[in-house]
């Protein structure tokens, strides 16, 4: 039978389950007999990790595995947290340092993570060769070219259609020129911009125009922001096109009838100026400005119309001639749209 001193000597190994069968039997016998040693045994067993009677990493690992599981996972968590610029609190920081003092995989990992923490942000950028920027600018400039020359079939056909429409409207004696002209302008802006929600619906646009620019903006509703944004950017390009076409068609109509042209010239001059104003107002999305310009243009158009039609005989002759041209330029089926005024 072992005495208390002998038993104490075996205590650590006994708790760790490392004794030979013989020693263990002896220790168990003493434990059953001796209340003091039984008490000591309970204390040691309870506080095994804290007391840390021996500095044995392997043993610690085994105990941890049987109790809380591997602490490395928690250490990884803290290492990553530290990498995310999150300051660890003093306790975490201290515990992590203590763990790494004993765990070489975590120490290596910490070094590798720190290395990645420095390396990865540097990899956000790769400086390309010197010619790169110029190549990009060339490529994007080509897009601009394409945008400026409307090669899109839809765009082309709309402009063709508008041209024909303008000529036809112009030739109809009692048509309100004001409405026609304004409709044209707004039609181009609404149907000619590739992103316009109305690009496939000219009749709807035409109907909208009767309500004036305020109604127009209101009707665009939730899409207004997109339309406004794009319109701002493209209005000037589109505007120069529609303007050219309108002016061009007017000039082609009147080139061989110089007298009339001279007579309408002042009013025409005014009209062109107010048209430019409208263009700017549309580009700036300046609704009051649009209203004012439209009003002015209405007056200009009336005087143009008045001056132009003073000599009915000539007008009738010209109209017969131009009706022929107009009909050939007119796309099939577009007539019905224009009959409603």
Partner 1 sequence: METTLLLERCRAGDQLAWEHMVRQYQSRICAVAYTYVNNTDEARDLAQEIFVRIYRSLDKCRDPERFLAWIIKIARNACLDHLRRLKSRPPRHDIPADGMYNLVDPGPTPEDDWVTDSRRRLVYTAMRSMSKINCEIILLKDMQGLQLEEIADMLGIPVGTVKSRSNRARLELAHAVRALDGPSGDDSGERRGIA
In whole angstroms, how close is the CB of 178 to partner 1 at the nearest point?
32
In whole angstroms, how close is the CB of 89 to Zn ion at the nearest point?
19
Is there binding between residue 27 and Zn ion (CB under 5 A)? no
Please state, in angstroms and rounded to a whole number, the distance separating the CA atoms of residues 188 and 182: 10
Is there binding between residue 240 and partner 1 (CB under 8 A)? no
Is there binding between residue 43 and Zn ion (CB under 5 A)? no
Please state, in angstroms and rounded to a whole number, the distance separating the CA atoms of residues 151 and 159: 11
Residue closer to partner 1 by CB (options 111, 215) is 111
| Binding residues for Zn ion restricted to 164-223, rule: CB under 5 A | none
Please state, in angstroms and rounded to a whole number, the distance separating the CA atoms of residues 291 and 286: 9
Q: How many helices (H) and strands (E) does the chain have?
A: 18, 0
Q: How many residues does the chain have?
A: 341
3-class DSSP state of 103: coil
The answer to whether the CB of 74 falls within 8 A of the CB of 64 is no
| Binding residues for partner 1 restricted to 91-130, rule: CB under 8 A | 107-109, 111-113, 115-129
By a kind-dependent CB cut-off of 5 to 8 A, residue 118 interacts, out of Zn ion, partner 1, none, with partner 1
Please state, in angstroms and rounded to a whole number, the distance separating the CA atoms of residues 61 and 103: 10
Among 39, 42, 56, 77, binds partner 1 (CB under 8 A): 77
Residue closer to partner 1 by CB (options 118, 255) is 118
Is there binding between residue 70 and partner 1 (CB under 8 A)? no
CB atoms within 10 A of CB 302: 14
List interacting residues with partner 1 (CB under 8 A): 76-77, 80, 83, 107-109, 111-113, 115-129, 132-133, 135-137, 139-141, 143-144, 195, 226, 229-230, 232-233
């Amino acid at each position: 039978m072992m005495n208390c001193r002998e038993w104490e000597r075996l205590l650590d190994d006994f708790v760790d389950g490392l004794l030979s069968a013989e020693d263990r039997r002896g220790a168990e016998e003493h434990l059953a007999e001796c209340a003091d040693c039984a008490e000591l045994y309970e204390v040691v067993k309870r506080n095994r990790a804290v007391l840390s009677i021996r500095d044995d990493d392997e043993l610690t690992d085994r105990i941890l595995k049987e109790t809380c599981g591997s602490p490395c996972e928690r250490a990884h968590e803290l290492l990553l947290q530290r990498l995310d610029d999150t300051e660890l609190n003093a306790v975490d920081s201290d515990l992590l340092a203590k763990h790494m003092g004993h765990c070489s995989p975590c120490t290596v990992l910490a070094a590798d993570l720190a290395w990645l923490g420095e390396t990865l942000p540097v990899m956000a950028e790769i400086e390309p060769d010197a010619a790169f920027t110029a190549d990009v600018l060339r490529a994007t400039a080509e897009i601009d070219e394409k945008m400026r020359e409307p090669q899109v079939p839809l765009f082309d056909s709309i402009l063709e259609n508008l041209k024909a429409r303008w000529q036809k409207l112009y030739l109809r004696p009692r048509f309100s020129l004001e409405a026609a002209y304004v409709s044209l302008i707004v039609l181009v802006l609404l149907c000619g911009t590739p992103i316009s929600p109305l690009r496939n619906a000219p009749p709807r646009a035409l109907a909208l125009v009767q309500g004036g620019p305020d109604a127009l903006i209101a009707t665009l509703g939730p899409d207004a922001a997109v339309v406004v944004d794009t319109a701002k950017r493209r209005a000037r390009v589109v505007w120069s096109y529609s303007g050219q076409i309108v002016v061009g068609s007017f000039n082609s109509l009147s080139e061989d009838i110089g007298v009339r042209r001279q007579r309408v010239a002042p009013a025409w001059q005014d009209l062109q100026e107010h048209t430019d104003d409208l263009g700017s107002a549309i580009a700036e999305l300046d609704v009051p400005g649009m209203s004012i310009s439209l009003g002015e243009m209405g007056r200009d158009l009336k005087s143009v119309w008045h001056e132009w039609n003073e000599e009915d005989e000539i007008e009738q002759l010209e109209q017969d001639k131009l009706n022929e041209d107009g009909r050939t330029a007119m796309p099939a089926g577009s007539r019905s749209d224009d009959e409603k005024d």
